[in-house]
Amino acid sequence: MTPTRALLDWVAAHRGEMLADLARYVEIETPSNDKDCLTDGLSWLASWVPERLGEPAAVEQFDGGEHGDIRVYDYPGAGGLPVLMLCHYDTVWDKGTLRDWPFDVDGDRATGPGIFDMKSGLVHAVWALRALSAAGLPRPPVRLLLNGDEEIGSPASRPVIEAAAADTRAALVFEASADGAIKTARKGVGIYRVTAHGIEAHAGLDPMKGASAVDELARAVLALHALTDLDAGTTVNVGVIHGGTRTNVTAGSAYGDIDVRVSSAAEAARVDAALAALRAHDPRATVTVDGGWNRPVMERTELTGRLFLLAKKLAAGIGVTLDECSVGGASDGNFVAALGVPVLDGFGAVGDGAHARHEHISVQGMVERTALAAAVLHALAP
């Protein structure tokens, strides 16, 4: 029997225990915007992780300020550089959601707030390490990072993630899969605000004395949307606009909030140049742009490709066809990939419904994904 098949059999035999862990975890609400809930969630994880894996060689906790704190575990291995395992514990679901949407299992389908994105993934990560220990199979040192602000862009945890990734050989991200596929590329995400300032005047009595900020914003929106290049993987969307005070007043100010997605650093540079070049049509008005790149592009590299082929081969050994894909959404894996570290993202749940009320996972997918993560870690042992 191959190590991969043995790992699958062991995980399958412990399916009930994994589900019990997942149930308890889902029943602890951890919305990104509730510091007290996040503190409670991380406190439970701080007890559960060493209970399942033993005491780490080192553990550090970093203050997240108004956001969730960050906890980093280092577990020793067979040698060589560590592998980074990224998991976030925050969800998009407000406190109280569990009252009318509790954890539930019906056959192969398990549901509950945050189960797909990405509480199941953290259970996979821990049980993959547990499976390797139980089987006595070697693996490289691992660095398990838990952060509580991923759903809002990782403002507090980004520097911790980048520091944790600096001396690693690879990273596995336990975000949910994309219909079972591993994500080997993700778009970079930019968040900007374009603001126009004009001159207020009575729109009927003194129309020529005014300079309309709304007019300037409208022109800017058209220019911004023209930057979209679907063939290059670039989208620019002004999703929120606000401006003016009254219908009979020439608007003195207006703004629009912009979401930018790009598939390459070259496209990011093109968009940056276009944003910097925005100017007001009326010389009496001004147009300015604030904001920046929330997450850099996660481009598929040769090293990432090799790592994926390894995972694909191991998946075939347990009867799973593993595909790869590129997605428009970003994750903390983007930060790591930008440092030149190969990243495989999507070792979490097989299911559907991220950020939606039909969020659910496949229980069999949980078993297979856990075994696959364990097999990849074993294959990376020196």
Spacing of C-alpha 136 from chain mean position: 32
Catalytic annotation, pick one of 117, 149, 150, 267: 150
How would DSSP label each residue in 77-136? -SSSSPEEEEEE--BSPPTTGGGTS--EEETTEEE-TTIIIIIHHHHHHHHHHHHHHHHT
Joined tokens for residue 155 = 């403002």
Instruction: Select which of 69, 90, 324, 345 is catalytic.
Output: 90
Q: Residue 259 and residue 187: Cα distance in Å, rounded?
A: 12
Q: Check if 90 is active-site.
A: yes
302/321 Cα distance (integer angstroms):
21
**Pick from 170, 189, 150, 184: nearest CA to 81:** 170
Structure token digits, residue 327: 């997605």
- The DSSP code sequence of 264-278 is SHHHHHHHHHHHHT-
The first and second tokens of residue 156, run together, are 């507090």
Active site residue 352: no
- Joined together, the tokens standing for residue 60 give 């550090």
CA atoms within a 13 Å half-sphere pointing along the CA-CB vector of 97: 22
In angstroms, the CA 275 to CA 356 distance is: 33
Residue 231: how many other CB atoms lie within 10 Å: 5
Angle at 85 between CA 81 and CA 87, to 5 degrees: 160
Distance CA 102, CA 96 (A): 10
In the β-sheet with 253-262, what is the strand arrangement from edge to edge?
A: 235-243, 253-262, 188-197, 286-295
| CA distance linking residue 365 with residue 19, whole number of Å | 12
Q: Which residues are catalytic?
A: 90, 150
